[in-house]
């Protein structure tokens, strides 16, 4: 049995849910999201809870059961509370600035790096080396944060680069003289 799949999803107040064909639609204060529903699972919507049940007890279907439940839960949580990732830039002269819908990064390269911020993502600057990326869609938030981090990933010797705030960088010792 999938431990994730059998957990019941509670619907917060102010969130509307409905099932249309093979899609699960969620609408809340942060926006609208949809999650795909596989044919191997049944989704039942009661007044304040959502239950995902398995049709056939095959090993592959159990994995899809848990995945489907997690996608629906992320959509419900995203439109009600939202998701956010804190990032920081470490390095002398490294900084970021938000100019309209563009994130401007100075990362020690010969040119500044400009990243267009999509409409479903908001960035809040905390100084010029820390910022918080937030979005109702957990997957798109993770993809955008990883793309920003890939512009200058943290290096193992001095730890310079863009990192998640809770990320631990394993540091190397360097050369001996």
Q: What is the pLDDT of residues 119-161, one digit of tens each?
A: 999 999 999 999 999 999 999 999 999 999 999 999 999 989 9
Question: Structure pTM?
Answer: 0.89
Kindly report the average pLDDT of the chain as a whole number.
91
Enumerate the H helices of 55-102 as residue ranges. Answer: 59-80
Q: What is the pLDDT of residues 84-113, one digit of tens each?
A: 999 999 999 999 999 999 999 999 999 999
Q: What is the four-CA torsion angle of 114, 116, 122, 126, rounded to 10 degrees?
A: 0
| Residues 135, 85: Cα–Cα separation, whole Å | 9
Q: What is the four-CA torsion angle of 27, 28, 31, 33, rounded to 10 degrees?
A: -40
Show Cβ contacts of residue 152 under 8 Å, excluding neighbours closer than 6 positions.
Answer: 89, 91, 94, 105, 107, 108, 109, 160, 161, 162
Q: What is the pLDDT of residues 8-43, one digit of tens each?
A: 999 999 999 999 888 999 999 999 999 999 888 889
CA distances from residue 145 to 39, 76, 150, 177 in whole angstroms, order as listed: 32, 21, 9, 38
Domain range 83-164, its CATH number among 3.10.20.70, 3.30.465.10, 3.30.590.10, 3.90.930.12: 3.90.930.12
If we measure between CA atoms, which residue out of 133, 153, 152, 129 comes closest to residue 143?
133
79 and 12 Cβ atoms separated by less than 8 Å: no
66 and 2 Cβ atoms separated by less than 8 Å: yes
- CATH number, domain 9-80: 3.90.930.12
pLDDT at 59: 79
If we measure between CA atoms, which residue out of 119, 116, 87 comes closest to residue 103?
116
Q: How confident is the model at residue 175 (pLDDT cuts 50, 70, 90)?
A: confident
Domain ranges in the chain with CATH number 3.90.930.12: 9-80, 83-164
């Amino acid at each position: 049995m999938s431990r994730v799949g059998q957990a019941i999803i509670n619907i917060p107040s102010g969130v509307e849910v409905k099932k249309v064909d093979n899609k699960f639609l969620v609408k809340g204060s942060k926006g609208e999201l949809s999650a795909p529903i596989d044919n191997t699972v049944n989704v039942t919507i009661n007044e304040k809870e959502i239950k995902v049940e398995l049709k056939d007890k095959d090993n592959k279907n159990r994995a899809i059961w848990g995945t489907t439940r997690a996608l629906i839960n992320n959509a419900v949580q995203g439109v009600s509370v939202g998701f956010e990732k804190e990032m920081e830039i470490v390095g002398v002269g490294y900084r970021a600035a938000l100019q309209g819908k563009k994130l401007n990064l100075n990362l020690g390269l010969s040119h500044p790096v400009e990243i267009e911020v999509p409409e479903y993502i908001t960035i809040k600057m905390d100084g010029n080396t820390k910022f918080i990326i937030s979005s109702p869609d957990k997957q798109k938030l993770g993809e955008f944060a990883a793309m920003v981090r890939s512009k200058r990933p943290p290096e193992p010797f001095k730890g310079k680069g863009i990192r998640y705030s809770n990320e631990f960088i394993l540091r190397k010792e360097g050369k001996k003289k």
